[in-house]
Amino acid sequence: MNNYLSWEQTLFKDREIFEPGYVPEAFLYREKQLKRIGHAIAPGIKGEQPQNMVCIGPPGTGKTTSIRKIIDEAEQISTSELIIAYVNCRFTPTRFSVLSDIYRKISGIEPPGTGIALKKFYEKIAETLAAKNKSLFAVLDDADFLLLRGIYCNVANDILRLYENRPVNTGLCTVHSTQRPPLDDGLGSLFMPVVVKFPSYSWDETFNILSTRAKLGFYSDVVNKEIIEKITQYTVPKGDVRFGIDLLKRSAFHAELRASVAVTPSDVDAALVEASKDRLSRYLKVFSETERALLDLASEMVTVQAGELFSAFHERTHKGYTTFHKALNSLMRAKLIDANIENRGKNGRMRVIVVKQPTSGSES
């Protein structure tokens, strides 16, 4: 008889434990950050002005989960005078789309599609918030994407200046994986955020987090200590605990395909190749076709003078220098490439392009 592992014999006790949106009841090593976020939101629950905040830390260090935990807690307070609007900026490419998400949360109805001026829509948001007599706390997660699109300061001003249309209290939290965002003169004097830092998890912290997830999500003896140590070794250099959690899940899937009741090192190795490719693919989706084409080309050329790269880019895409320069700056802001000025002797100083992150097409 074939020894196929049936669905009923799954290794997973609870698959949700390994999903990106899962918020653990016991959230390890982030007590300080949770308290700081709660302190910023607390005034808004009484209808007062929430405190502005910037959360900064590498991907997978608990920023989103911390915020979601505090949001869940705040929304369970029946007497709250606060509306919390969470926006994932990865999927909101324009000022209008950000404001649409906020309006949807405030009003409970779908925002208008096209055919309404941004200014009129903005006034409608302020009017709706004032009519409800509530404070607003807007959370812009993955706000680095607003920086890449050049609309961060505009969006932040949109939210923080709602009081100019109606007597409302608004607070803003922006979440970043790179560095504290640069603010223009007008926003700097208005925003003045408290900065909450999320450092990368240590080796022991990562191991304990992965061990806890494994205990909650798998049946007994599916993964042993050595497997979790191996996954921890792969996870810590990336600084992203989500990668390790995903690797746990994928490793168990590979074990199930073999009709095994336990994860082996070979399952982890197979899952690692798969996870690394998928991770890069998801990241690159936020860039335009032109930006991805330039990154692919720069990856092929490895290290190249800017002029040579433009010539190759123009030959492949038939696009001009303005498009090239815009795409190059976008990739530089995303820290996928560096542009270094080098002294080339009698040829003078030249800008040399160096790829920091290979694309899937050049990944070894």
H or E stretch covering 124? helix 118-132
Domains and CATH numbers, the chain: 7-19+201-284 (1.10.8.60), 31-197 (3.40.50.300), 289-355 (1.10.10.10)
Alpha-carbon distance 95 to 155, whole Å? 6
Instruction: Please state which of the ranges 27-36, 106-115, 166-175, 238-247 shows the lowest mean pLDDT.
Output: 106-115
- Report residue 266's pLDDT band, with 50, 70 and 90 as the boundaries: very high
The whole-number pLDDT of residue 114 equals 67
Confidence check: pLDDT of 61 > 70: yes
- Give the list of residues 6+ apart from residue 363 with CB closer than 8 angstroms, or none: 276, 277, 280
Of the chain, the percentage scoring pLDDT greater than 70 comes to 91
pLDDT tens digits for range 120-163? 899 999 999 999 999 999 999 999 989 988 899 999 999 999 99
Q: What is the dihedral of CA 216, 222, 227, 232, to 10 degrees?
A: -20
Alpha-carbon distance 317 to 295, whole Å? 13
Phi/psi of residue 152, nearest 5 degrees: -60, -55
pTM (2 d.p.): 0.78
Looking at every residue in the chain, the average pLDDT score rounds to 88
Alpha-carbon distance 223 to 339, whole Å? 44
- Judged by DSSP in three states, 58 sits in coil
Residue 190 exposed, middle or buried by CB count within 10 Å (0-12, 13-18, 19+): middle
The whole-number pLDDT of residue 345 equals 57
Confidence check: pLDDT of 183 > 90: no
pLDDT tens digits for range 339-364? 777 765 555 567 788 876 544 433 33
